[in-house]
Amino acid sequence: MVMNNTSSFLKSLVDIECVKFGDFTLKSGKKSPIYIDLRNIVSYPKMLAELSVFFETHISKEIQRICGVPYAALPMATAVSINTNLPMLIKRKEAKNYGTKKIVEGEFKKGDKVLLIEDVITSGESLLETITELESEGLAIEQILVVLDREQGGSDRLKAKGYEVQSLFTISSLIKILFEDGKIEEKLYHDVLNFIHDSQITTPVVKSKKKLAKTHPNAIGQQLLNIAHAKKSNLIASVDLTTSKEVLDFLAKVGSGICAVKLHVDIITDFSHDFVLELRSIAQKHNFLIIEDRKFADIGNTQLLQLSKGIYSIASWADMVTIHLIAGEASLKAIQDWDTDKKPGLIPIIEMSSQGALTDKHYMDNCKKFMYKYSDVLGGVCQTFEIDTPFLKFTPGVNLASKGDDKGQQYNTPEFVIETLRSDFLIIGRGLYASTQPEVEIEKYLAAVRSCDIY
């Protein structure tokens, strides 16, 4: 029989150094008087068992499956599963290879009600990531229990998204008990309280598409923003398929969920004028725009020829094109000065997603010096680089199930791209078109981006 006593349990956390006091420098560079890392509990089975009893008193009757947020909460979830006889699921943390590994291990059916267990909640980021992945597998998040709430805003953030987080302990209840039991001095007690007060994580302000459309300087940019707002989708499907039929069939399946398609027209083996007509017709039917990812990178005169001539005659059908700024301001100005009826909006590539990309800070800062001067420019393609409002940030390298490929591509999750990189538009290639059921897969991406309140 495991005895349960809050005060003795919390004091033991200090004894086994899961909670430490001192002068710590956090990853952010900020100083902290307290350090919490509950992973060490695995070395103390009796404490793990005790923790499980704390959890058990809170578990809702509806729960059908238990899942721990990897890794710290995995042994905790295991202990609860053994004690309650509720089956457990494991959500993988590591990169998933296409088609070979499942993201969730264990038996379950769609709609199963899950208890999610986490050790510590700070910003709520890892919980949100796990929630998105479990929900994309059809599981229902019924209850969320965490051992310790750092009270820095994470649970409020989850609440705003409709998830209630219950915590066994809060950092202030922890230090109050330790102070009352004479385990810490009064000064330290107040230092920790002040630290909590000063360390609130503010929810990122995601730019509303509707508001942006009102101030965006470019008509095509406004159109894109209005479509994103109307369809509640900031997803751009990058269709790197190599026949007209494959491209059009794919777009028939995902067209209703995207605000734009991005093509590499030079990889389409049977490119023709008819293809362009069909493409424009399907784009009109489903209300999305067309981006040609041509990545122009030449002197002004050549770029104008590449835009307007040749078998592709890109400017005649593309709503937007990508362009490198490597050739300098004059090359960009040449397009801006081009007087023609049909000119695509320009999306400069500021920073690339691939490993070892040469688009360093110096390069990006140089792009910034002139790109905003030109009204044909909609914004930029980038990762960490910040685009000035009301210009738009486009980010490729987005995938729910993979961290990268073996050719240098690097992926982030949609939530990370929106909330941390603060991107306006997400470009998704293989995450969608390599799926056997893109029409099902796109719903997962839509659920992820819609959970970020971007409209």
Which residues lie near ligand 5BU (CB under 6 A)?
A: 238, 240, 264, 293, 349, 352-353, 381, 396-397, 399, 409, 427-431
Catalytic choice (11, 211, 295, 343): 295
Residue 272 Cβ vs ligand 5BU, minimum distance, rounded to whole Å: 21
156 is catalytic: no
Residue 204 Cβ vs ligand 5BU, minimum distance, rounded to whole Å: 22
**Whole-angstrom distance, CA of residue 9 vs CA of residue 11:** 5
Residue 430 Cβ vs ligand 5BU, minimum distance, rounded to whole Å: 3
Closer to ligand 5BU by Cβ: residue 257 or 431: 431
Contact 76, 117 (CB under 8 A): yes
293 is catalytic: yes
Q: Give the type of residue at 173.
A: S
Q: How far is CA 175 from the centre of its chain?
A: 34
Q: Which helix (H) or strand (E) holds 120?
A: strand 113-121
Tell which residue, 116, 119, 115, has the closest CA to residue 171.
119
Contact 50, 39 (CB under 8 A): no
Catalytic choice (298, 333, 343, 403): 298
Integer CA distances (angstroms), 146 to 21, 54, 168, 415, in order? 21, 11, 6, 21
**Whole-angstrom distance, CA of residue 403 vs CA of residue 68:** 21
Closer to ligand 5BU by Cβ: residue 191 or 240: 240
**DSSP string over 383-437:** SSSPPPTTSEEEE--B-SS-SB-TTS-B-B-HHHHHHTS--SEEEESHHHHTSS-
DSSP state at residue 173? H
Closer to ligand 5BU by Cβ: residue 286 or 294: 294
Closer to ligand 5BU by Cβ: residue 307 or 398: 398
Residue 372 Cβ vs ligand 5BU, minimum distance, rounded to whole Å: 19
* Closest residue by beta carbon to ligand 5BU: 429
Closer to ligand 5BU by Cβ: residue 143 or 322: 322
Residue 433 Cβ vs ligand 5BU, minimum distance, rounded to whole Å: 7
Catalytic choice (112, 119, 149, 293): 293
Residues marked as catalytic: 293, 295, 298
